Each structure stands twice: as structure tokens, then as C-alpha cells.
Amino acid sequence: KQEVTQIPAALSVPEGENLVLNCSFTDSAIYNLQWFRQDPGKGLTSLLLIQSSQREQTSGRLNASLDKSSGRSTLYIAASQPGDSATYLCAVYGKLIFGTGTRLQVFP
């Protein structure tokens, strides 16, 4: 059974720091991996989708990498801003299995 773990569970940093969020999964036989952002009381917003044949994807200040052999993905956030405060979720495809998320707070 696929299990997805995200570390850390919560993170509080000052504005301007570069951040790394971690996602690990137990079964490397995945199709794709997707990172989402969820604001309090809101739905999920897709950030990046990495296909199984890719090793990374970039969008603006966000960069996500995928290492299937080690069962890991990282989300790198450059020059963090207070508007980045949210919960970040990773999910792996076969059936979409979610991690429990990293709750990020960026303070001015």
C-alpha cells in the first residue's frame, strides 16, 4: 500500500528565506507526482505536476524535483514571501494518494 509522508509537518520562517519541503513515498511505481497549495478553508490549487519520466519542474519561484528510485520529491521555494503561507500537499498517482501536508507560515 502506497504511503506518502511529508516533512516537516509545520514550518515558520522569516520572509526572504529559501525553503525545501520534502515528500517521500513507499512505492516507486508511480505515474506522476503533483504538488498542491491549500489556503485555510479553501480548495486545492495545483502548483506543479511532474511526470514519471521527468526529474524536475519549475514555475516562477517554485522548483519541484522527483527521484523515483529513492521515493522522494522536494519542493523548493525561493525567496519566500508572506503570501506563500499555506499548506503544501504532495500527491502521487496511480490512484491519487496524498501526504498530510506541510503547513508553512512566512512572517514579515
Partner 1 sequence: NAGVTQTPKFQVLKTGQSMTLQCAQDMNHEYMSWYRQDPGMGLRLIHYSVGAGITDQGEVPNGYNVSRSTTEDFPLRLLSAAPSQTSVYFCASARAGRGINEQFFGPGTRLTVL
Residues that bind partner 1 (CB under 8 A): 4, 31-32, 34, 36, 42-46, 49, 89, 91, 93, 95-101
Return the number of the residue (43 or 83) whose C-beta is nearest partner 1.
43
Return the number of the residue (41 or 108) whose C-beta is nearest partner 1.
41
Indicate the SS3 state at residue 83: helix
CB of 2 to partner 1, least distance (A): 10
Return the number of the residue (18 or 45) whose C-beta is nearest partner 1.
45
**Nearest-angstrom CA–CA distance, 83 and 91:** 22
Q: Measure Cα distances from 102 to 12, 25, 28, 68, 86 in Å.
A: 10, 15, 21, 21, 8
